[in-house]
Structure 1
Amino acid sequence: MRPLIGIPCHSGVGAESDRPIFFNNIAYIRAVETAGGVPILIPILDDLAGLQTLLPRLDGILFSGGIDVHPRNYNEEPHPGLGKTNPQLDELELALAHWVINENLPTLGICRGMQMLNVSLGGNLYQDLESQYPDSLKHPNWELPRNQKIHNVKIQEASRMEALLGRNEIGVNSLHHQAIKQPGTGVIITGRAEDGVAELMEVPEHRFMLAAQCHPEELWNDEPAWKNLFEAFIDECSRPLVKQIHTVSDILSVSARPA
């Protein structure tokens, strides 16, 4: 049976209806589907107790890209370069992140998802690379096609990322203005851009917790290495796992703790 992969939604307003909606990019859906999984969009619930019904049914979580993580989640004040944030989205994703950590569930993070996983493990972020990281490359290239490669990433030798991608260097797109500053507990940075910015991470003690700062969901169709990553994620999600789900109160109490 194909594994069920949870993907948290973002919130916005419909372009035509002007009504509130939950959504995510189709590219994530197609990447998971093509790799053999069944994507399930997770809305931003008003009452996170509803997660108790959903979480035991999932075989993996993909944390997608999106808006900025609010710095209150890692005990910092907002920087002038901070972009749009959503406290409800942060709360949902922190609860999900702590759950996958506790349950050892296969997890893939992309862009914001990589940053959120790091924050959930006690790390922090550069809130704005241009102003906080001297001599950085231009990482936010939102005006360019989303599949356009901007720079290379050097991959750490003997890392899980190197094994899955099958190379020690790879070209990536770049659609972010934040990045990991201090890695969280157990986080290993296994890929860096030419300017040293963290681009790949993994948590070796976890069954499968890998993340990319780029957007491989926009690249896998033309670059087999990224297809390997999605297929490895879905393959791990397909393996048997004894789930010992914590109570909702456990999830929320952990996610509410300061980083």
Structure 2
Amino acid sequence: MRPLVGIPCHAGVGAESERPIFYNNRAYVHAVERAGGVPILIPILDDLNGLNTLLPRLDGLLISGGIDVDPRNYQEEPHPRLGRTNPKLDDMEIELVRWALQENIPLLGICRGMQILNVALGGSLYQDLEELYPDSLKHPNWELPRNHIAHTIAVEPGSRMAEILGESQIPTNSLHHQGVKKVGEGVTVSGRAEDGVVELIEVNGPHFMLAAQCHPEELHSEHPAWARLFKAFIQACEESALRKVERVETLTASAV
């Protein structure tokens, strides 16, 4: 059974029509599909109660990259270098993270997705690394190809990420200007850049809740370690789907 993986959308305007649209990059969809999952795009709902109908049907969540997280979610005022935000998107993705944790649904966070995972669990962010993190590398390489290798990540020995990635030093792209500052409750740092900026995190416990600050969806076809991350995520989603089937069978048998 191929698992269903929800991917939240962003809000924007169509380049040709100039009409309001929901969208996300194809790279996330293709990475999930090639790893064996079935991606489902989730629009930003006006009424988050609508998630109650959708979420029980999902076997996993991928929280993608995108715009900045509103700092009011971690009790800070906006910095002058803060980029565009969308509080409605923040609200929905924070709700998704908390649901996934409560229901033991696998979650993979990418770039903004790592940041929203950390914030949802009580952590905070550097609103702009260049301004607020002394001696940082150049992390926002938006002018370069998205698969450009900008630096390496030192993976924490003994971490779940180390087990999955299978390497102690991972080449990575870098397309962000914000980063994790205070880690959230139950969050462990499992990888850092050469300058100490947090690049990988995982949530403690048996559930699959991992995140990368980079964009592995742009790297998995060239770098096997990142392909292994997507494979591990989809495997966890398959196990999630199987648990649902077993629960239904148990309930059916007990009702007979």
TM-score by structure 1 length? 0.93
Query: 2:205, 2:126 → 1: CA distance?
Result: 25
2:4 alignment counterpart: 4
Letter in 2 for 1:122: G
* Pairwise CA distance, 1:204: 2.3
**1:136-184 C-alpha deviation (Å, 9 max, x unpaired):** 0000000000000000110001111111111101110000000000100
8 A Cα contact 1:101 1:206, kept in partner: no
1:42 alignment counterpart: 42
Letter in 1 for 2:191: G
2:222 alignment counterpart: 222
1:234 alignment counterpart: 234
**1:51-95 C-alpha deviation (Å, 9 max, x unpaired):** 111000000000000000000101111011100000110111011
* Pairwise CA distance, 1:241: 2.9
Query: 1:56, 1:152 → 2: CA distance?
Result: 37
2:199 alignment counterpart: 199
Number of equivalenced pairs: 244
Structure 1 residues without counterparts, runs of 5 or longer? 245-259
TM-score by structure 2 length? 0.94
**1:190-224 C-alpha deviation (Å, 9 max, x unpaired):** 10000000000011214100000000000001011
1:101 alignment counterpart: 101
State the percentage of identical aligned residues.
67
1:257 alignment counterpart: none
- Secondary structure of residue in 1 paired with 2:17: coil
Letter in 1 for 2:243: L
**For 1:92-241, what aligned pairs fall within 5 Å after superposition?**
92-239=92-239, 240-241=242-243
Letter in 1 for 2:30: R
CA root-mean-square deviation: 1.1
2:90 alignment counterpart: 90
2:254 alignment counterpart: none
Query: 1:115, 1:93 → 2: CA distance?
Result: 11
Structure 2 residues without counterparts, runs of 5 or longer? 248-256
- Secondary structure of residue in 2 paired with 1:241: helix
